[in-house]
């Protein structure tokens, strides 16, 4: 990578402003002053200093967010608070985006990253990445429903879903509600809600627990986030 590109990506200014920095003789690579903007540098191998301070460069960032209801899975919106509004971006030069979308009233796990390659792999239909949700359902979920989901159900637009794993966790006869866990491998618009609607039931509450190998940290409160660990990132990239 060219040194001017790396410095610009690190938030030190535009390419033009970075060239001025280089001319001021305050940029060092492995102890040597560098002025040529075309100088090649490896941020993983080379020691880069600016006026004596070490530059800590990250090409990609990965955040796990426990999305609350009322927040939309977008980078910007004039009407609603977005998931990026929940991040403290003042120290983040990179521009992360949500990997997939959770409905505005859905809570739970949302991955945010600027790694476009990983985003594509996780969302690509051909990779069949598991997404597991916890839900409260209006109605009694039966073994017939479990069997129907296992085969795939027809949505309101005629689309036949892929097989889904549905587990009944608890049933309340008095309130006529059910607590369930469902794992799907697709991400159609309002898919979980539409699947239950197809069997005559409605979703009252929905929370995503996991996406592929990434599981929501139980210590993350609603609206809180943290950086993914190296182990989590490696698992995601191996998905």
Those residues whose C-beta lies under 8 Å from the C-beta of residue 187, and which sit 6 or more positions away, are 100, 101, 123, 131
The packing angle between helices 230-237 and 116-123, to 10°, is: 60
Phi-psi region of 209 (alpha: psi -120 to 50; beta: other; left: phi over 0): alpha
Considering the candidates 44, 85, 91, 103, report the single residue annotated as catalytic.
Answer: 103
The rounded distance, in Å, linking the Cα atoms of 39 and 5 is 10
- Measure Cα distances from 14 to 3, 5, 9, 37 in Å: 12, 9, 9, 12
Rounded CA separation 211/49 (Å): 38
Q: Known catalytic residue: 103?
A: yes
Q: Provide the phi-psi class of 181: left if phi over 0, else alpha when psi is between -120 and 50, else beta.
A: beta
Q: Are 226 and 220 in contact (CB under 8 A)?
A: yes
In a 10 Å sphere around its CB, with 0-12 CB exposed, 13-18 middle and 19+ buried, how is residue 196 labelled?
buried
* Residue (of 18, 23, 21) closest to 6 by Cα position: 18
Residues 179, 198: contact at Cβ < 8 Å?
no
Catalytic residues: 103
């Amino acid at each position: 990578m060219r040194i001017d590109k790396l410095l610009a990506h690190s938030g030190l200014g535009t390419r033009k402003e970075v060239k001025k920095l280089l001319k001021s003789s305050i940029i060092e690579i492995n102890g040597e002053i560098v002025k040529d903007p075309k100088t090649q540098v490896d941020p993983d191998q080379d020691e880069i200093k600016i006026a004596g301070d070490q530059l800590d460069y990250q090409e990609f960032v990965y955040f796990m967010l426990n999305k609350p209801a009322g927040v939309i899975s977008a980078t910007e919106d004039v009407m609603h608070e977005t998931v990026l509004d929940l991040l403290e971006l003042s120290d983040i030069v990179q521009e992360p985006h949500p990997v997939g979308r959770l409905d505005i009233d859905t809570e739970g796990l949302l991955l945010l990253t600027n790694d476009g390659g990983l985003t594509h792999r996780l969302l690509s239909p051909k990779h069949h990445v598991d997404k597991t949700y916890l839900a409260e359902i209006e109605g009694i979920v039966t073994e017939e429903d479990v069997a129907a989901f296992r085969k795939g159900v027809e949505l309101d637009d005629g689309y036949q879903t892929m097989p889904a794993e549905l587990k009944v966790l608890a049933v309340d006869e008095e309130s006529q509600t059910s607590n369930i866990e469902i794992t799907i491998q697709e991400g159609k618009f309002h898919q979980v809600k539409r699947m239950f609607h197809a069997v005559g039931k409605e979703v009252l509450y929905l929370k995503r627990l996991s996406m592929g190998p990434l599981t929501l940290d139980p210590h993350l409160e609603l609206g809180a986030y943290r950086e993914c660990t190296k182990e989590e990132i490696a698992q995601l990239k191996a998905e």
